[in-house]
Structure 1
Amino acid sequence: MMKRTLLTIAAALLLITGCSSKNKTPQTIENSDGSVSITRIDEDGKAILFNRKFGKDKNVTQVRLHDTSRANPVSIDLSPYEGKDIEIQLSCEMFIDDNTTKKTQVIWMINELEENFPKLFDRKVDNGKWFSVNKHLTLHLSGKRQLYVSGGTLNKEATVYIKNFKLRLNGEGLTKGAPQPEVWTEVTGVKDVLKDYFDYFGFCVSYNNTFKEPLLQKGLPLHASVITMENEFKPDFIFGWNKPNKLTEFRGEDGNLYEVPADIPTFKQMDSILSDMKKLGLKLRGHTLVWHSQTPAWFFQKNFGRNGETALVNPDEMNARMEWYIKTVLQHVAEWEKKNNNGEHMILAWDVVNEAASDNATDANFLRDAGSSNWFAVYKNETFIVNAFRYANKYAPKDVKLVYNDYGCASTNKNRAICKIIDAIQAAPDARIDAAGMQTHVGINDSAANFEKAVQNFLAKGINVQITEMDVANGSASYNAMRLKDFYKTWFTMFIKNRKQPGKNGIEGVTLWGVRDEWTWLNGMHKGHTQYPLLFKDKEFHCKPAYYGVIEAANE
């Protein structure tokens, strides 16, 4: 209680008094990349002496706490960066000379109220021994703030020694001569820095809404190798929102003949997409064959919903319709590839089933119920999932990956539910599942460590993982460019750590759900709060700090 009180008093004094006018600005260097280097702590008259000799060390800063005029003697003024989003990288070595006690609690912190006084370093250290501080933190400076060692835990008769002090601030607009953001066509491609780690890197693109933009088409081949269509390969789009007018017969696996559409789909738009991707030198992920959403209701209804029919068909007839649809789509792609691409695959993977697990999964009830899924309404169990992978395995080339795709994969209950789905698929001798697709629609405060556990649960099933729809929502919180950079760096470092390697399952590819912020679907999910979830921004596709976070993760 006493320690907390002293810390609060010290912080309050900083907020009330700000930075003393007697204190001179520490040595500050504006770097060519727009970052700032600060090479020493603030001065405080006779209390702080620079370039001292201490033992065998030279250029040591000596802080005599007895002579200080400040509540927190070891401090650095950050007020020039008020209102900025910054990344702080602090490193130094410290020595506490205090004969009255064996240990001292040393706390490096910032008096930022909106971040609850964040700490970079908080440890009880041995007095009389050098110790290292090497920490980084991202935050928004909402006022005139300071980085400091809390005076509330220091003996006022002690002396503090500091050497090799380095403080680096990164952020947008920190210096007058900061370089302007780079355009995405003038920087290193993300796919190139990740090529040694993953089979592919890509983006989701809306063919109908944004694909025709010239600068998008110019930059996509530089940064991506594989594209996912946001909507255009989903059943609603494949059928073109049409009902069948003509029917033909299809023999189901039970040997019976069932009616199926004869005049749809036409595949006109799919062919255009395949052709345009070929021109750009890009491949595709197929998204998606079986989904409860964006699949027409008539597909599940008797007589295809004609004459006012709304009753659902039985599982045997639905099996025939599902097999017909999967066969029709996959064989059309194969025929297009044979005719137009020398048989080389344009679609490297398919999300065979999308989002079948329940958000409120239990061991007994782990699938979406009949109220949200016509598939479950027909089958009442996971049979439709297993059959979808059986049929996909029957008609897809063996080197095209078959994927189960879902969101919320790091949730304990949902992760367990998806594992049950994978088990059911693997138990069918004629089914094949190659990877778990983890959508990765995450929030800025989500834990990479928790997500990593979910990845490893899927890898333990003997399959790979694909990151299929990643974006990072700031939610109701203010956007912090440097925090997003740190997030992407942390998560891509985790992806790389868990990558697929020879003889070892792992993450084999990453797709971001969108190219630039202005197109994100998340603004509809967080109404009233603008989201900034991606690597690029504005109509010129300028690189955000988040782009450099991915680059740093790959290079380190």
Structure 2
Amino acid sequence: MSKLRNFLMAGVAGMALVACNAPAKVQSGMALKEAFADHFYIGTAMNTQEITGKDSASVEVIKKHFNAVVAENCMKAGPIQPREGEFRFDLPDQLADFAEAHGMYLSGHVLIWHSQAPRWFFTDSLGNTVTPEVLTQRMKDHIYTVVGRYKGRVKGWDVVNEAILEDGSWRKSKFYEILGEEFVPLAFQFAHEADPEAELWYNDYNEWYPGKVETVVKLIGQLRERGLRIDGVGMQGHLAMDGPTIEEYEKAIVAYANAGVKVMITELDMTALPFPDPKVGAEVSASFEYRESLNPYVNGLPDSVSVAWNNRMGELFDLFLKHSDKITRVTLWGTTDRTCWKNNWPVRGRTDYPVIFDRQYQPKPFLDKYTKK
């Protein structure tokens, strides 16, 4: 695991510890899960402090407002199997218990992803790159074990994450270097064999870029031509104030739906801060040097920025409702501004305001029109 990743996880945990000691105000208005009940699931990613109940204030927000949950980190390959054959199911088990206790839709994130895959996946005991046969077996063993354990509990899986670049070319990950494009159909095959009832999804960021849209649509067709199951495309939705346009986002939603799959908004957040490089998307390895100009709102958003943020997020939710016949779930990547990962990415130490509940655990103003009808 990279130093950056360790920093981010430690920073988020630290913020959550602060959050759990703060009193949560009484939340007024209709719960989001009720407001959107006829349209799509509304979900959030749960971090360690929330899963274990230490951030009790955020847990109360989750129980009131959300009917879908996903693990922010603990079900990724690195955390769940840090060494070959050594599985760490404690946190995922707690998350599954929480989801069942509160009647929530539980999705699994993620089976195959280059960024948080353990190093042993790709090397032998001497440090040499493994053969395609060895990597295939390791993928199979990992997917069979993880998916099999949560068979019938996890309703759907992000099978492969972030395999395609914005221009439509394939990311040259270790999975790709060893197996080529074949690692994707193999992952979908193994996931379906491990739980034939679970939905299977391809998940990525910047999925509105035309080149990426074209390749993802092509991938959907190729998987189905081989008789493999793919139910949906997860559009992560790590957005900025200046992009993508609503029209670009809508065009991508329609394209994926026309390819015959469901669409999920899987990791929604929107930074209110200046972004060092718009091409980064959600590449977690990205890191930029801290500058005060990149952290302008330490003491809160100016009214003009807050209004602009709420207007844009409201436009996005209106878009989701417009296409609720295609969209089955909208999941935020963080419950409140206090603990969202964007506070430390891609610039360490920033104060951001990226999700739909603020630091006082209150829903942001744009939600009023949905919850106070």
Count of equivalent residues: 320
Q: CA shift at 1:549, angstroms?
A: 5.6
Match of 1:219 in 2: 61
Match of 1:485 in 2: 310
TM-score (norm 2): 0.80
Provide the C-alpha distance between the structure 1 equivalents of 2:25 and 2:166, rounded to a whole number of angstroms. Answer: 39
Structure 1 residues 549 and 468, CA, compared in 2 at 3 Å: closer, same or farther?
Answer: farther
Deviations 1:225-259 (A, max 9, x none): 111111011011111x3x34xxxxxxxxxxxxxxx
Which has the larger share of strand? Answer: 1
User: CA contact under 8 A between 1:415 and 1:454: conserved in structure 2?
Assistant: yes
Is the partner of 1:537 in helix, strand or coil? Answer: coil
Deviations 1:195-238 (A, max 9, x none): 1111x111111024675212222221211111111101101111
Higher mean C-alpha deviation, range 310-319 or range 401-410:
310-319
Q: CA shift at 1:423, angstroms?
A: 2.5
Structure 1 residues 550 and 297, CA, compared in 2 at 3 Å: closer, same or farther?
Answer: farther
Match of 1:282 in 2: 104
198, 206, 225: which one aligns with 1:408: 206
Q: Work out whether 1:460 is the aligned partner of 2:258.
A: yes
Match of 1:331 in 2: 148
User: CA contact under 8 A between 1:382 and 1:421: conserved in structure 2?
Assistant: no
Provide the C-alpha distance between the structure 2 equivalents of 1:271 and 1:537, rounded to a whole number of angstroms. Answer: 28
Match of 2:341 in 1: 521
Match of 1:144 in 2: none
Which has the larger share of helix? Answer: 2
User: CA contact under 8 A between 1:225 and 1:282: conserved in structure 2?
Assistant: yes
Q: CA shift at 1:532, angstroms?
A: 1.0
Provide the C-alpha distance between the structure 1 equivalents of 2:205 and 2:342, rounded to a whole number of angstroms. Answer: 14
Is the partner of 2:193 in helix, strand or coil? Answer: helix
Match of 1:292 in 2: 114
Match of 2:188 in 1: 389
Unaligned 5+ residue runs, structure 1?
Answer: 1-181, 245-260, 335-344, 501-505
Q: CA shift at 1:266, angstroms?
A: 4.5
Structure 1 residues 550 and 489, CA, compared in 2 at 3 Å: closer, same or farther?
Answer: farther
Correspondences of 1:474-553 after superposition (within 5 Å)? 474-476=272-274, 479=301, 480-500=305-325, 506-527=326-347, 530-538=351-359, 540-548=360-368, 551=371
Q: Work out whether 1:367 is the aligned partner of 2:166.
A: no
Is the partner of 1:517 in helix, strand or coil? Answer: coil
Provide the C-alpha distance between the structure 1 equivalents of 2:46 and 2:129, rounded to a whole number of angstroms. Answer: 34
Deviations 1:75-116 (A, max 9, x none): xxxxxxxxxxxxxxxxxxxxxxxxxxxxxxxxxxxxxxxxxx
Correspondences of 1:267-278 after superposition (within 5 Å)? 267-278=89-100
145, 151, 163: which one aligns with 1:356: 163
* Partner AA of 1:546 in structure 2: F
User: CA contact under 8 A between 1:488 and 1:550: conserved in structure 2?
Assistant: no
* Partner AA of 2:187 in structure 1: A
Q: CA shift at 1:184, angstroms?
A: 6.0
Q: Work out whether 1:434 is the aligned partner of 2:231.
A: yes
Q: Work out whether 1:206 is the aligned partner of 2:6.
A: no
Task: Choose between structure 1 and 2 for higher RCO, CA contacts under 8 A separated by at least 6 residues.
Answer: 2
Provide the C-alpha distance between the structure 2 equivalents of 1:268 and 1:526, rounded to a whole number of angstroms. Answer: 29
Provide the C-alpha distance between the structure 2 equivalents of 1:348 and 1:222, rounded to a whole number of angstroms. Answer: 21
Higher radius of gyration, 1 or 2: 1
346, 352, 358: which one aligns with 2:153: 346
Provide the C-alpha distance between the structure 1 equivalents of 2:25 and 2:208, rounded to a whole number of angstroms. Answer: 34
Deviations 1:392-435 (A, max 9, x none): 1112132x211100000011122222223223222211x11000
RMSD: 2.1
Q: CA shift at 1:529, angstroms?
A: 5.2
User: CA contact under 8 A between 2:48 and 2:91: conserved in structure 1?
Assistant: no
Provide the C-alpha distance between the structure 2 equivalents of 1:284 and 1:184, rounded to a whole number of angstroms. Answer: 26
Identity, in percent, stands at 28
User: CA contact under 8 A between 1:485 and 1:548: conserved in structure 2?
Assistant: no
User: CA contact under 8 A between 1:191 and 1:224: conserved in structure 2?
Assistant: yes
Q: CA shift at 1:357, angstroms?
A: 0.5
User: CA contact under 8 A between 2:208 and 2:252: conserved in structure 1?
Assistant: yes
Deviations 1:450-499 (A, max 9, x none): 10001111111111100000111122276422222211221111111111
Structure 1 residues 190 and 184, CA, compared in 2 at 3 Å: closer, same or farther?
Answer: farther
Correspondences of 1:6-405 after superposition (within 5 Å)? 183=25, 185-198=27-40, 200-208=41-49, 211-239=53-81, 241=82, 243-244=83-84, 261=85, 264-302=86-124, 306=125, 309-334=126-151, 345-361=152-168, 366-369=169-172, 373-379=173-179, 381-398=180-197, 400-405=198-203
TM-score (norm 1): 0.55
Provide the C-alpha distance between the structure 1 equivalents of 2:219 and 2:26, rounded to a whole number of angstroms. Answer: 40
Match of 1:443 in 2: 240
User: CA contact under 8 A between 1:349 and 1:403: conserved in structure 2?
Assistant: yes
Provide the C-alpha distance between the structure 1 equivalents of 2:47 and 2:333, rounded to a whole number of angstroms. Answer: 10
* Partner AA of 1:383 in structure 2: E
Provide the C-alpha distance between the structure 2 equivalents of 1:543 and 1:270, rounded to a whole number of angstroms. Answer: 27
* Partner AA of 2:111 in structure 1: L
User: CA contact under 8 A between 2:31 and 2:371: conserved in structure 1?
Assistant: no
Is the partner of 1:347 in helix, strand or coil? Answer: coil
* Partner AA of 1:391 in structure 2: F
Provide the C-alpha distance between the structure 1 equivalents of 2:306 and 2:61, rounded to a whole number of angstroms. Answer: 22
Provide the C-alpha distance between the structure 2 equivalents of 1:382 and 1:472, rounded to a whole number of angstroms. Answer: 31
Is the partner of 1:378 in helix, strand or coil? Answer: helix
Structure 1 residues 549 and 298, CA, compared in 2 at 3 Å: closer, same or farther?
Answer: farther
User: CA contact under 8 A between 1:315 and 1:378: conserved in structure 2?
Assistant: yes
Provide the C-alpha distance between the structure 2 equivalents of 1:358 and 1:207, rounded to a whole number of angstroms. Answer: 30
Provide the C-alpha distance between the structure 1 equivalents of 2:190 and 2:270, rounded to a whole number of angstroms. Answer: 34
Q: CA shift at 1:522, angstroms?
A: 1.5
